[in-house]
Structure 1
Amino acid sequence: MKYIIENAILFDSDRKQISSASSPDVIVPLTTTASRLLEEIIKHPNRVLPRALLLKKVWEDNGYAPSDASLNNNISVLRKYFTSLSDTEIDLRTVPKIGFQLNGSVVLCEEQTDIAGNNEVHETERKDVIQPASGRFSSHTRFGLYIASAGMTVVTLLVALVFLSFQDRGISTQKKKIQHMVRFEKCDAFNLSSDGIPFEKVLSQFPSVRSSCTSKPANVYYDFSSLNKDRARHLFVSVCFKNDKSGYLKCENIKSYSLE
């Protein structure tokens, strides 16, 4: 199954990979656990999913020992990949002492076999929106599409009014961008946070990154956000080796740690 999250991230659950909706050739493979976790979450958008439910569905039901630490780490990895693939913010939030919630739209992309019997598979332009309450899929009628289109127009106008209101109040609406820090050997290093921590700190704490960069072309993504009263610490280092043509061959998580 293929899903589009917030019109920004394409998730292929069969191939266990995510990519940018605008640049589908840029592919990041997921572990089996991360893929199962993401699929469980996007089936229930805008709903709080308790930790116990996710641990059962993703770990226990598949013969693995459940672990809060593993759940936290996989959530952190998914967030980092979302940030590295798209400028659109994917709101996968932590609900303290309860669980996690994905706030946003999730669309199922249907695939159909050519009627003539040539076995060619085409993605249809028509998509089914996952219902937040039940997680089931429903087909839109033509009338329903017209209504949805009108609704989107109204929402767009409201968003524009809110944006103008923010500007009038002097509130910044600019989203945080990924920082390209430096070119090192065969690697480009990207900081996923706004703290400005230099790439040299990654190299000093994780020597394996240095050896990876000298062997193959890759992108390194890292986040060394510091612990403070307002936000939990995130420590993340991932090396994504480039394909000769496009996208990534694979991504290796050197470190993934989150206190949430």
Structure 2
Amino acid sequence: MNYIINGSLLFDTEEHLLSNKQNNKTLTLSAISSRLFCELLKNPAGVTREHLLNVVWSEHGLTASNNNLNNHISILRKHLEELADLHDLIKTVPKKGFALNRNHMIVLVEGEGKPVRTVQRTTVKEKPSFRPIYMSLALFILVLLALFTSLYGDKIHSMFANTQPKTFYKYKGCVLKTLREIPEKKRQASIALVMEMIRKNDVDCEYDRYDVFFYLSGEEQSTHQFRMLSLCRNENGGNYEHCYSIKVV
């Protein structure tokens, strides 16, 4: 079976070959990268790290590790960008695994080139409006306040009743936003703390776009500790579709 992405990039699963008919570029993947790409294409909505490590490595008698997986994901992303400018096809799902960007169409075809089925259809983007952006942001802030209240108590409501998130730091595709002003002398330590948590939870700022919301109380600023940060995938200018929180133990 072969796959066609966006009508131009062909992936021959048997030959491990990527080819773009528009620019005549071709590239042969390694056996590991080919198996990995196959599993991603079979599971466009999402696949766990455990599944990939087992199917791509362990079942073939190879050593499975997150480091190996991350390296081959990076290799695939580079190849896809070089051949067809598909740098955003593979999305990282922190704490879970990987998924394919819904903005790209993927079709499964037979050896003769006849389409078997559409694996993934592109999503139709409507003209953005400010109303849904403000509504989604307001809803997220309310949810975030509720989460922090469960951790810190009712004092959060009085402290943040009229608070708007402020951009604190940008690193590639990740934008850090804080709900509390942080003194200049503590900014670098706070940035290092949040970025460390992002890396530990496999958030890929190189290829994914996230708004990262966090709050540091005065006590936590002094000890460089905090209890929770929340991430929202930002693909529509602030109209968040996927948000989740990471609790720090």
Normalised by the shorter chain, which TM-score bucket? 0.3 to 0.5
Higher strand share: 1
Greater RCO, CA 8 A, separation 6+: 1
